[in-house]
Structure 1
Amino acid sequence: MNDKDAAARRGTGSDSTPITLRRAEPGDGAAVAEVYLRSFDAALPTVRRAHDDDGVRAFFRDVVVVHHETWVADEAGTVVGMMVLEDGRMEQLYLDPARRGHGLGDRFVQLAKERSPQGLDLWTFQVNAPAHRFYERHGFLAAERTDGSDNEEREPDIRYVWKGDAAADDRP
């Protein structure tokens, strides 16, 4: 990442501490898993997680951070948010509960759109109304609803789609 990209990815936390979005490193796996666990439990208390805490930690440490395009929000050396992108899909976006509502999710979505200007899709649970409002505010449209039989949690979900930068398709 060049200096311009790094500067564009910087912002501040709730107490004016700088928060930088950066690619995750292998050593970030445990911290990424902890953000996921805290966020999932706070945002989705009625959804049964498909794996126990140790299974989640192993998955993020050994698979996600090592093999997928994982980004973290770093606040003074502490991971306070995470996003995973793969082939035009936002696979994960989770924030420490204390960092919600401060623009950090907006920054992650902007980064995802920059990384996938042709378009993105993602899945979120139907019970997660705040996520629906968030993604719709960012131009995502609900494209498909399921009964949850294809996800590990067996929870009804919604696929959202952002069509991308249509103007980029019209350029010579």
Structure 2
Amino acid sequence: MTANRFTFRRLDLQDMAQASRIHRAAFDNSLPWLKGLHTPQEDQWFYENCVFEQCEVWAAFSPDMAGIIAFKTGWIEQLYILPDFQGHGIGSALLRQAQTTFPHLQLWTFQRNIQAQQFYEKHGFIAIGKTDGSGNEEKEPDMLYEWRRAGS
């Protein structure tokens, strides 16, 4: 299965419940030590009232929603792919949507999330900072990544 077997579209408010479920399933799979940080209701509220209000939110479908990205000027806020769909180019295709839209992007990922670091570095992101996690909700050490379009 490759990304060309998926359809991509920008999401509407009514899609946020499903987007929040994609987020939670992928998050809990990749970061099991943080599982249960929020309830499904809290996740849905966050997507409807924060993510959707502040970001462009796109998804990949096959035919059901398989992955999401949320981005705004200069930032990737969320990028999550269901575990069964990882490794098929969906994350790369969604990331290209943000990279096509903006010439400069930053994002945070946890230091223990080696898979995410490898993914972003493969797509031209460079680690530019680290924290001890005291400033994030999870209290998990994280890394700041940056990407710039060539020539910008």
Q: State the TM-score, normalizing by the size of structure 1.
A: 0.82
Superposed, 1:66-145 pairs within 5 Å as 66-76=53-63, 78-117=64-103, 119-145=104-130
SS at match of 1:11: helix
Larger Rg: 1
Mapped to 2, the partners of 1:105 and 1:68 lie a distance apart of 17
Shift of 1:47: 2.5
Shift of 1:113: 0.8
Q: Which runs of 5+ in 2 are unaligned?
A: none
Do 1:147 and 1:157's aligned partners in 2 also have CA atoms closer than 8 Å? yes
Q: Tell whether 2:17 aligns with 1:30.
A: yes
Q: State the TM-score, normalizing by the size of structure 2.
A: 0.92
Paired residues, number:
150
SS at match of 1:124: strand
Match of 1:157 in 2: 142
Q: Which amino acid aligns with 2:28?
A: D
Mapped to 2, the partners of 1:142 and 1:41 lie a distance apart of 24
SS at match of 1:46: helix
What is the RMSD of the two structures over their aligned residues, measured on CA atoms? 1.5
Do 1:124 and 1:158's aligned partners in 2 also have CA atoms closer than 8 Å? yes
Deviations 1:122-171 (A, max 9, x none): 000001001111111111100000011111111100000112222xx4xx
SS at match of 2:65: strand
Match of 1:41 in 2: 28
Mapped to 1, the partners of 2:54 and 2:72 lie a distance apart of 10
Do 1:147 and 1:155's aligned partners in 2 also have CA atoms closer than 8 Å? yes
